[in-house]
Amino acid sequence: MGNLEVAEIRNSRDRGEMVMFPWTVYRGDRNWVPPIIKDRAKVLDPERNPFFQQADVTLWAARRDGRLVGTIAAFINHRFNDYLQQKVGFFGFFEVLRDYEAAEALLTAGRDWLRERGMAELRGPINFHRDRERGILVEGADCPPPMLCGHTPPYYKDFVERFGMVKYADDFARRLLIADVLDPDGSLPPRVVRLKKVAQRRAHLKIRHARLEDWDSEVQRVRELYDATIGQLPDHIPWGDEDLADFAEKLRPFVDPDLVLFGEVEGKTVGCVLAFPDFNQVLIHMNGRLGGWRKLLAWWYMRRIDVVSFKVGGVVEKYQGLGLEALFLLELAQAALSRGYRWVDMSLQAEDNEKLTTLVSHFPVEDYKRYRVYKLSL
């Protein structure tokens, strides 16, 4: 098969080659959504990505007879380990051709690098941030992923398991067809009306839409609610200032205020839902670029998005179990219907989030993708 070499990536030219390598891996895969090239280049650049200020990161490339056949990043997120009192190292940006020897060499490089630095466990794949491009796709490769989610070849699962890694956690992308919960005119079926009335009796919840003119304050409300709800789940840590600012700015162009909901009880914000038009339905046609004439093409595809992607949501503990989560979901479905969307994507949702699983059990929700994060003791 030729001589295989694995070496650290140390310069911008090699990082650029790493950015473009997925186009080789996914050539001919109609369900792969190419990332925006300039955004991916920034993510991997230690001079431009603030994540490198809180983490030790090393990138590797595998070459066979000089030809790039695989890439990987290994990293230690000190903020994660300090907050949770763990010694976990991660790998991500794992892309490889159908070449197990190359995959094994890359995983070995990452494992050994983390072991040398005192880590007790290797976990991944995670592309730096827990809530973005997390896991290997183990079910549901028959359709494109929703925004902020990944897509991987079937053999990735075989490669990491052959290396000795085992399941750490699964996450689902779930689908709710709006026609299954709302009548065509937007009214609720009798069963859902009863559910809504029960929830409204238990708490006098007022749901409002986002106020874009008050952007900074709205972002801080989301932060507080995230830290009080999702941030309390295992392996979640509070948002840092730079992480929050980066996440908010990346999503700001996609915000539709009718799809970002805040819930208030007696004037106090007690919950929120953040959903966005699924921009992956645009990116899949852009081939990694949005400049020039592609802006017009992107505008054309944006008008044809038929999925709204629900990304962040929660209710503070005092008001959980009263049905407020169901009220949020119904309000989101009605807003989506008025915008012409066919279904709501809910991603990613942790398999061990029992409260969320209980909520969606009241609705005709389909698990249409499953992503798996793996672990290996060091």
- Both 124 and 45 in a single domain? yes
Task: With respect to residue 317, please indicate whether it lies within any of the assigned structural domains.
Answer: yes
- Both 259 and 322 in a single domain? yes
- Both 100 and 37 in a single domain? yes
The number of beta carbons lying within 10 Å of the beta carbon of residue 299 is 10
Q: What percent of the chain has pLDDT over 90?
A: 70
The answer to whether the pTM exceeds 0.75 is: yes
- Both 216 and 361 in a single domain? yes
Which residues in the chain belong to E strands, given as ranges?
Answer: 4-8, 55-64, 67-77, 88-96, 121-124, 136-139, 166-177, 205-209, 260-265, 268-277, 307-315, 343-350, 365-377
Q: Which of 66, 95, 130 is the last residue of a domain?
A: 130
- Both 193 and 125 in a single domain? no
Buried b (16+ CB within 10 A) or exposed e, 244-270: bebbbeebeebbbebbbbbbebeeebb
- Both 22 and 110 in a single domain? yes
- Both 351 and 217 in a single domain? yes
**Average pLDDT of the residues in 338-352:** 91
Residue 190 pLDDT exceeds 90 = no
Task: With respect to residue 94, please indicate whether it lies within any of the assigned structural domains.
Answer: yes
- Both 278 and 344 in a single domain? yes
By the 8 A CB rule, do 18 and 9 touch?
yes
Burial of 100 (0-12, 13-18, 19+ CB in 10 A): middle
Task: With respect to residue 166, please indicate whether it lies within any of the assigned structural domains.
Answer: no
Tell me the CATH number at 209.
3.40.630.30
Instruction: Give residue 286's pLDDT.
Output: 97
**Average pLDDT of the residues in 189-213:** 80
Mean pLDDT over the full length of the chain: 92
Reported confidence tier of residue 186, pLDDT bands at 50, 70, 90: confident
**Average pLDDT of the residues in 193-197:** 74
Task: With respect to residue 162, please indicate whether it lies within any of the assigned structural domains.
Answer: no
Instruction: Give residue 84's pLDDT.
Output: 94
Reported confidence tier of residue 362, pLDDT bands at 50, 70, 90: confident
Task: With respect to residue 144, please indicate whether it lies within any of the assigned structural domains.
Answer: no
Q: Which of 96, 130, 164 is the last residue of a domain?
A: 130
Instruction: Collect all residues with Cβ–Cβ distance below 8 Å to 299 and sequence separation of at least 6.
Output: none
Task: With respect to residue 160, please indicate whether it lies within any of the assigned structural domains.
Answer: no
Domain containing 82 equals 4-130
Residue 211 pLDDT exceeds 90 = yes
Number of domains in the chain: 2
Instruction: Give residue 352's pLDDT.
Output: 83
Instruction: Give residue 32's pLDDT.
Output: 98
Reported confidence tier of residue 26, pLDDT bands at 50, 70, 90: very high
Name, of 87-91, 243-247, 320-324, 337-341, the range with top average pLDDT.
87-91
- Both 185 and 311 in a single domain? yes
Instruction: Give residue 101's pLDDT.
Output: 98
Task: With respect to residue 34, please indicate whether it lies within any of the assigned structural domains.
Answer: yes
- Decide the pairing of beta strands 205-209 and 343-350: unpaired
pLDDT digits (tens, 9 = 90+) for 248-269: 888 888 899 999 999 998 889 9
- Both 56 and 123 in a single domain? yes
Residue 197 pLDDT exceeds 90 = no
Residue 227 pLDDT exceeds 90 = no
Buried b (16+ CB within 10 A) or exposed e, 193-223: eebbeebeeebebebeebeeeeeeebbebbb
pLDDT digits (tens, 9 = 90+) for 160-181: 999 999 999 999 999 999 998 8
- Both 121 and 180 in a single domain? no
pLDDT digits (tens, 9 = 90+) for 283-296: 999 999 998 899 99
Q: Which of 76, 108, 130 is the last residue of a domain?
A: 130
Task: With respect to residue 315, please indicate whether it lies within any of the assigned structural domains.
Answer: yes
Residue 138 pLDDT exceeds 90 = yes
Give the residue among 25, 14, 5, 93 at the shortest CA–CA distance from 57: 93
Residue 182 pLDDT exceeds 90 = no
* DSSP 8-state assignment for residue 81: H
Which of 25-34, 198-207, 333-342, 344-353 is predicted with the least confidence, judged by mean pLDDT?
Answer: 198-207
- Both 121 and 22 in a single domain? yes
